[in-house]
Amino acid sequence: MLTGRKYLLDLTAEQTAFAERIGGACRAVWNTALEQRRTYRRRGAFIAYHDQAGQLVEAKGEPGLEWLAGVPGHCLQQTLIDLDQACARHGTFKVRWKSKTRTRPSFRFPEGGKIAVERLNRRWARAKLPKLGWVRFRWTRPLGGAVKNATVSREGRRWYISFLVDDGAQTPARHAKPDAGIGVDRGVVKIVTTSEGRFHHKVFATGREVEHAAKLQQDLARATKGSNRRKRAARRMGAVSAKIRRRRADFAAKTAHVLTRDHNLIVFEALKTKNMTSSVAPKPDPDRPGAFLPNGAAAKSGLNRAILDKGWHRIELAVRSKARYTGSCVIAVNPANTSITCHECKNVDTRSRKSQAVFVCTSCGHRDHADVNAAKNILTAGRAELAQARPAARAGARKPRNRVGRKANRQATAAQDLATTSPGPAGIPRP
């Protein structure tokens, strides 16, 4: 099974400068290739990876582009591969540019056979990378498998190396607790609420850290662009954001461990965070041209920051990754009406949710924590999806024409396979 291992690098001054050059060359190749793809698409034509890779080889011999030959060619080719996959997944015009100031430099060495790793002592090890030479890194955990590739990236002033290794593990055919299922409701007040009535929550930034970040943001806004003062403020702001990001990742990993260890079935809501955190459209005043009516943008902006600060998507990704080692089945269901439906009598009424935490059914009088009630409804929807027959086994079943239908079929197929082996089912904005 493929998994990642991340370590802190200890680069020399020469290696740091060369790593910056490699990152800059990969960024330039990404942006140039993306612009070429968009130009072709505007003309109704198409250019693929192999054509661009051939043109990249020719460009290394052009006058003024000798700097391309000075960096590892495999890193540049891997950049074109990543761009090709991003365009195929999101569309050519939805792929973003890589900015020199906003994008962290990152490049990958795709051939694991050319990467040598040696243990130096209890705390340090070193890896040999093409053209970069031997680089030291902090040995905090064993690799645990054969190296497939290595990615070097910078976060703030620190450089890290991430190895993709094959640890040889296999997904268990049967979970240790095959009858345990759980529904997960993600919220703002409590990050994770389960159908068992448990709450998983953590404050990623204290009140003092929020005030400090606001002061740094103010210094950054007041400083002149390109000045040393602005650079210092940006570095300090980046350090604060990196600390919050590490806390968020740690919380996601620990929560994923608990959920996958104790449950065979884990059901999430299929939330579209991007749509939920979109800005509010302005409301023009019909009586005063050029003026606008109040539209609640300030309150919506605060809600957006709170949602992004909780890291909902990161939690689901961590659970899906950890489920490979426990054999848990992770599915996502339609979130419609889960928070206003009574788990006991299935009555749907917006008036049943008295507040953020109180749910009292207007039909049967059932009382429960609102998030726990929603988590129970999510689990019920997930078990109902598991109980559906495999679409391919239906007589005369037709293949869905849209991607949403195909995704539902894949989830149902995975659920059917699981059933054959189991007896049954705000603070600081995110950087």
Which one of 269, 309, 316, 368 is the catalytic residue?
269
d(CA 3, CA 53): 28
Q: Are strands 265-269 and 329-333 parallel, antiparallel or unpaired?
A: parallel
| Predicted pLDDT at 76 | 95
| Predicted pLDDT at 150 | 96
Which one of 84, 316, 371, 385 is the catalytic residue?
371
Residues of the chain with pLDDT under 70: 389-431
Alpha carbon 150 to chain centroid, angstroms: 19
Predicted structure pTM score: 0.80
66 flagged as catalytic: no
Which residues, listed in sequence order, are joined to residue 149 by a DSSP beta bridge?
A: 164
166 flagged as catalytic: no
Strand-by-strand arrangement of the 158-166 sheet: 106-109, 146-155, 158-166, 2-10, 133-138, 124-129, 116-119
CB-neighbour burial class of residue 322 (10 A; exposed 0-12, middle 13-18, buried 19+): buried
Residue 244 CB contacts under 8 Å (≥ 6 apart), including other chains: 204, 205, 209, 427, 428, 430, 431
* Per-residue model confidence as pLDDT tens digits over 398-420: 444 444 444 444 544 444 443 43
| Predicted pLDDT at 275 | 86
371 flagged as catalytic: yes
| Predicted pLDDT at 30 | 96
Residue in this structure with the two tokens 């970040």, named with its chain if needed: 213
Which one of 84, 185, 316, 385 is the catalytic residue?
185
| Predicted pLDDT at 345 | 92
* 107-135 as b/e: b if 16+ CB within 10 A: bbbbebeebebeeeeeeebbbebeebeeb
Q: Are 341 and 354 in contact (CB under 8 A)?
A: no
